[in-house]
Structure 1
């Protein structure tokens, strides 16, 4: 473990100083508090109460049309073009999934659930999917939204992984407008505000931010949040937002990297003052290795080495599928650290190695 600690420190240091070295069975909902899931009732009383509150179908063509209009406007604001499921032909995502066909093996926050297409929203699934929208942002990655009703409550799920795990979206605008459409209220679309940090939208690849920055690289929603890893030196904290990754070491020291799309070549000779000025700029891109989709981050002026790799993943812990962040480095993106959603889990799983992760 000491070796992993040393290597992990080297990966972080290389970013900060800009140097580097080279079948669907019966499923039960068991989902953490991150996603509100209504468990199947053993009686029919709960379903009857929903039916009384919302007579007839919970979802109809009028609501569907309003959602379609909203998604078109929202996609334009985000510089993304979404394809809607037409009710007949599966949506094929760039990450290799087919929906709604593959809902039968889907998980939410790593937990087994019943999830299925249900046009009226009145099915007995944990998640009754009433609309599906997909955007392929590259030849191998996609963003898929499932607009669902969970026991009559509108919930938007998102999948940005290369697998079939879903999470409740953290996009406030999407959540609010889906509720508004469900309740028959007006919708609104706001174009993301421009800023120098994590609140700016980065999906427009041609955006010119100056000095070789062609816009931000956006992290998957499943990666965002605060994560913890434990080694012999203590707890390291990893904070991931839309466009930034921050490490805080056990001693409380840390560094932040902002993720940019680099559009210029690295010059041969760079002054130390220039290197210092760009210390928090990261040259980032998506890459698929070892069965995972990583964000690979190099220092802005890094001319050698592989940089650091970060991927959202899930592992079975104590009988539950738990979301984790995998950090790797080196030529083969060897796993150097695993980050968990809580310090308790990090302490519990210290020194654990997983069979499906790639270690040196």
Structure 2
């Protein structure tokens, strides 16, 4: 009899223990699942394009709704304002396709969201624009109205300093510079030290890299921009994303020289083409002798494959050391003789 009672108590104890373990497992599983859901929700929230953005330099603004619709506006200082409805779709990590309901814009636009900065680019007829996300919802109708008033006030206050969209309306500006067709397109540049690959997009009038956009303009030859560097803050604001471009010729080879619009010291960057491994590549140079800073390839695979290769027909900074060593050796030989 005592044995039966003992066995009964033992079985009851085991049943209660197993029930407690299962309850703990369910609680832990539920907590982990909830944590994953919260983490996933936060991650999705961080990369959402939904909201409104403004590009004060160009006088444009754009808004994206949760139902994949939106609106784009641009305050044209001379002609009628642009006011287009749009649809959008996510195509990759922080990358989106935008389609404007505008007969003048037949091709889709590409949007890249990095933090709170949105860069929108298109074909050769669309100037790349850089927008910053607003903390609060932006009223696009008020934005257009304020831009019109601002343009009028700025014109009166600053004399001949006007909206940057107008050709020849800003002192020293002779209009947009058109990049040669052979340089346009998407190029992939590999970092020689760590092998990482970055993308550079050259459009008709813009150069877009990771974290920057340059709008290409021509500057008047007799224009002295030095006084505008410190004395005209409104001028600096309107031209902050501008670059001045000239075409240089050396040994029968043309190079495109790009500098900041108000850049003083420094040679800027040089762009030209070369042929390596049987294909055209983009050569980006810098410094006094346009030494090679990077090679752009048409596909990412080649950029990674040839990242550390030096080409004998190109001029690198390291060549200076070699030339100096040769000169030192020659001088030593002459002294010995």
Q: TM-score, normalised by structure 2?
A: 0.41
| Bigger fraction of residues in helix | 2
Higher RCO (CA-CA < 8 Å; seq separation 6+): 1
